[in-house]
Amino acid sequence: MQSVVVWGTGNMGATAIRSALAFPGLTLTGIITSSDSKVGSDAATFARTGEPTGVLATMDIDAALAGADAVAYMASGDTRPDEATNDIERCLRAGCHVVTPSIYALYDPSSAPAALTDRLRAACTAGRASLIVTGVDPGWANDALAVLAAGLCTRINNIRCQEIFDYSTYHQPHAVRVLCGFGMPMSEMPMMLLPGVPTMVWGGNIRLIARGLGIEIDEITESVEREPLARGLDNEMGHFDEGSQGAFRLQIIGSVAGTPRVIIDHITRIDPTCAPQWPLPDEGVGEHKVIVDGDPELTISVRADVKGGTRADGGNTTAANRLLGAISWLADADPDIYNGLDIPLNQQSSTASTHERWAH
């Protein structure tokens, strides 16, 4: 049994807490929060389960890390990458394995800045601990599933990882309104869509998928399309004015010798009626797809739902579980930085722990 601390109590943190309470082979021993108002809150509060667990949120990092085997670092690194890196280094030097989606540059460690990988590898060695970073789109759709799908084809022209999502119940106002720009005037460009930012975030995934399929990407380009709202509307995220940004389509395109080979394609709306000319989910309000243009032409569609949860909870849960499932594997690995293709699809722990996954 591996003891795990969840660092972060936002969307992904709360999801990881909920999963860690029930995940085979893991026991939740601590929660680290940056919010004074959340100190002392029981894990059950974040997980939205009824029975108190006795595991309380704290801002005392050293106390939380003491004796822990691993940390699920779920605090955001979007606008605070240096702070997130410092936190992760601290955990590794304390002897805790770290699983996280927070450092975009490490989605593909081999193409990350050497100063960053050297620093964190030194921390891994010092603490006899390991690190894996994979994304929240969810990460498995932008690495393992894409490579698996390609393996089912005789010939491949290109492979597309597509996310179609409705942000109207994504309870992160800063991400929705500032980073993604929903409700922002069309004359302004949101941070996520600024030139170079998409490549910074998803370029590692593109290189990793390509390398997993035996090719090397020599160029990454970006395509951004935006659509305004035809009418004002109100939803769980508040009011959005007519004419403000209501949808965007973002494509990050990895090419080899001028031919597009690996594409990450995000179609994101604040209302399902906006931009009907773009792909819509086959069912429900959102889904992830891996689309292989090849022989055969292959499409794998995935939708995850959590009973009583928001539209984002299903995808967040699969992303958290992919990371939590890597902890037992990391415990047996040499200290190092690993990527999403290094860990097996089914991270087997003990037979007893595996049996716990089956509902009773």
The strands making up 26-32's β-sheet, listed across from edge to edge, are 57-58, 26-32, 2-7, 70-73, 97-100, 131-133, 337-338
DSSP per residue, 29-54: EEEE-S-GGGTT-BHHHHHT-SS--S
CA distances from 18 to 13, 29, 79 (A): 9, 13, 25
CA distance 186 to 228: 7
Q: Is 256 helix (H, G, I), strand (E, B) or coil?
A: strand
Q: Are 140 and 166 in contact (CB under 8 A)?
A: no
pTM, two decimal places = 0.90
**pLDDT at 124 exceeding the cut of 90:** yes
Mean pLDDT score across all residues of the chain: 91
DSSP symbol at 75: S
Q: What is the pLDDT of residues 296-328, one digit of tens each?
A: 999 999 888 888 776 678 888 889 999 999 999
**pLDDT at 56 exceeding the cut of 90:** yes
Q: Which has the minimum average pLDDT: 146-150, 220-224, 252-256?
A: 146-150
Domains of the chain: 2-137+314-355 (3.40.50.720), 153-295 (no CATH)
DSSP symbol at 186: T
Give me the half-sphere count of Cα atoms (radius 13 Å) on the Cβ side of residue 66. Answer: 6
256 Cβ contact partners less than 8 Å away, ≥ 6 residues apart: 210, 215, 216, 217, 218
**pLDDT at 352 exceeding the cut of 70:** no
CA distance 282 to 265: 16
Q: What is the pLDDT of residues 92-102, one digit of tens each?
A: 999 999 999 99
**pLDDT at 358 exceeding the cut of 80:** no
So what's the pLDDT on residue 343?
87
Percent of the chain with pLDDT over 70: 94
β-pairing, 155-166 vs 287-295, is: antiparallel
Q: Are 70 and 44 in contact (CB under 8 A)?
A: no
248 Cβ contact partners less than 8 Å away, ≥ 6 residues apart: 180, 181, 193, 224, 225, 226, 227, 266, 268
